[in-house]
Homo-oligomer: A and B are copies of this chain.
Amino acid sequence: MKTKCLVLLSGGQDSTTCLFWAKKKFGITETVSFDYGQRHRIELKSAAKIAGLAGVKNSVIVIKEFEAIKYSALLDLKADVSKKHSLNKDLPATFVPGRNILFLTAAAALAYTKGIKNIVIGVSQVDYSGYPDCRGEFIKSMEKSLSLGMEYPLKIHTPLIKLDKKKTVLLAKKLGALDIMKHTHTCYEGANPPCGKCPACLLREKGFKEAGIKDPLKA
């Protein structure tokens, strides 16, 4: 029997790299994306496009929780995404409390219904922008919580956890995932073409520059 996996696909550069990593490692790959009221909702279109081009199924799960918990610049069109968080000055304004915890839980529940025991998420604790839910220690703990809470042995794979953006770009190249990068969306502002100024755009630019590769989005 082929091993199945579910990739969390935001439509960005990292999750797209993970999708290609997963396609190589696992027998059957599916993706899941989240519609959670993000200001850069345009990324859902990127995710659908990328899944289609990669020939995998993409499920979209609607998450409404954040309507009740609006404390992030990523959910507020009027907020400045480059500032610090209004509730915690040690975190960026774009931190959405509980975001990856909810994403992983919803993905795990979907995986449960599909008999999938491998989940892939493109977090990195190198270029993690200060998000606590991108660290390996959290992922390990969450893997345990999900497995216990559903009585279902899940494994969370984080192929990018120790990679900076430069190394992620080089991995994408190695996996043959560079061409498809022109369909990814990174910009926090939801702008197309990207704004080039938000923290996400700047981090992406830095990665491609350091890897010595031209961003296909700009070709």
Contact = CB atoms under 8 A, between A and B. Distances in A.
Contacts of A141: 141, 144-145, 148-149
A68 B61 contact: yes
A195 interface: no
A132 B106 contact: no
Interface size class of A (residues with CB under 8 A): 35 or more
Contact of A98 (B62, B64, B109, B135): B109
A149 B128 CA distance: 13
Given A102-B102, A102-B105, A133 B149 contact: yes
A184 B160 CA distance: 48
A102 B148 CA distance: 14
Nearest to A86: B113
Contact of A135 (B64, B112, B148): B148
B150 A69 contact: no
Interface in A131-177: 132-133, 135, 137-138, 141-142, 144-146, 148-152
A29 B156 CA distance: 36
Q: Which 7 A-B pairs have the closest CB atoms?
A: A98-B109, A132-B151, A133-B149, A138-B148, A97-B112, A62-B64, A141-B145
